[in-house]
Amino acid sequence: MKLTAVELRRISLPLVAPFRTSFGTETTKDALLVRAVTPDGEGWGECVAMGAPLYSSEYIDAAEDVVRRFLLPRLFAAGDVTAGQVAHLLAPIKGHPMAKAALEMALLDAELRAAGQSLATFFGAVRDRVPSGVSVGIMDTIAQLLDVVGGYLAEGYVRIKLKIEPGWDVEPVRAVRERFGDELLLQVDANTAYTLGDARRLAELDPFGLLLIEQPLAEDDLRGHAELAKRIATPVCLDESVTSARAAADAIALGACQIINVKPGRVGGYLEARRIAAVAAANGVPVWCGGMLETGIGRGANAALAAGPEFTLPGDVSASGRFYARDITEPFVLDDGHIRVPTGPGIGVDVLADVLADVTTAVETVRG
């Protein structure tokens, strides 16, 4: 496809409640949307970089800058470009996977829309709805946590993930297990907040039968995760560390993870995310689809990814209402604890022009 122009749009959406993790508290979601314009139609991409480089080294202003100054010129210079070529064309630019992912996503959406094929079909989806888990932030009190978890369970979420950090780990897990029982699918996510020296503390989670502990140690600490995995009974799942299919293969070979959280933005796009799922499946490692507080655009694409055969665990693909009172697409809603996978061409969601206009803080069109 010939990329004629790309619209770069910044939006700001208020969150329904603050979302606190070990790395910070979010109250609004700022996102960079990219709209690829081609003679054969348009496509949307969402950059999941956050406002500050706290989850990973990327942040939204840097993503926009690298898109404008370094990535788009290479795509425009390529003439005809397919989504499958984007990663290769952009590889000389180091890093910035979330920025690259947004561009690849927009081209993939445009291609599939033009071809009349859904992203889910393209990914080889084996289900038309995906089980929905929810990521629960760190709270001020255990009582508040129990209220919030109870509310999500009443809504129908099939799996609960508690954000943890030193000082908010064993007690909240114990309280949730005591209140909601041993059958509840429960896991925790530390976002790198621990060190190997905390192994004994983390082993205190063993009796609670957690599905997994996500990214307890630093992003670059594969050896530490492998050692930790020997010292605790809870399966270790990696998020931040899995930056590519090669990193996934390394982590598996080292024994650093028994489960992988696949996030397209973190690994440079949905195509690399599919390769990670393939590497994991070939090694018998279960995967699930993570989230980055996506708007309906990224949420729809994540639902399609999670419909792939390798995604055997419930992911962080929640209803839009988990984060947003008003989304920029028709909201994804819970249907008996599941999210329906879009069936329309491309990502299969339509952007609501009036909402989009309301939440836009800046927009610019870059021409090739």
User: Using CB under 6 A as the criterion, which residues of the chain lie in contact with ligand OSB when the complex forms?
Assistant: 55, 135, 189, 191, 239, 290-293, 316, 318
Q: Is 163 a catalytic residue?
A: yes
CB-nearer residue toward ligand OSB: 46 or 189 = 189
Give which of Mg ion, ligand OSB, none residue 272 binds (C-beta under 5 to 8 Å, depending on kind).
none
Structure tokens at 51: 């406002």
**213 touches 173 (CB < 8 A):** no
Given the residues 29, 161, 163, 230, select the one marked as catalytic: 163
CB-nearer residue toward ligand OSB: 19 or 81 = 19
Counting contacts by CB under 5 A, is residue 239 touching Mg ion? yes
CB of 186 to Mg ion, least distance (A): 15
Give which of Mg ion, ligand OSB, none residue 291 binds (C-beta under 5 to 8 Å, depending on kind).
ligand OSB
The full length of the chain comes to 368
CB-nearer residue toward ligand OSB: 83 or 205 = 205
CB of 317 to ligand OSB, least distance (A): 7
CB-nearer residue toward Mg ion: 64 or 239 = 239
Residues in CB range of 248: below 8 A, 6 or more apart: 242, 260, 276, 279, 280
CB of 205 to ligand OSB, least distance (A): 17
**176 touches 162 (CB < 8 A):** yes
**300 touches 291 (CB < 8 A):** no
- Site string (172-211) toward Mg ion, x via CB under 5 A: -----------------x----------------------
Give which of Mg ion, ligand OSB, none residue 135 binds (C-beta under 5 to 8 Å, depending on kind).
ligand OSB
Q: Is 94 a catalytic residue?
A: no
Q: From CA 300, how far away is CA 182, in angstroms rounded?
A: 31
**334 touches 157 (CB < 8 A):** yes
Burial class (CB in 10 A: 0-12, 13-18, 19+), 69: exposed
Counting contacts by CB under 5 A, is residue 316 touching Mg ion? no
Q: How many C-beta neighbours within 10 Å does residue 27 have?
A: 10
The single-letter DSSP state of residue 116 is T
Dihedral sign of CA atoms 65, 71, 73, 75 in order = negative
**53 touches 60 (CB < 8 A):** no
Ramachandran angles phi, psi of 359, nearest 5° = -95, -5
Q: Which span (162-170, 226-234, 236-244, 345-353) binds Mg ion, by CB under 5 A? A: 236-244
Return the active site residues.
Answer: 163, 263
Q: Which residues bind Mg ion (CB under 5 A)?
A: 189, 214, 239
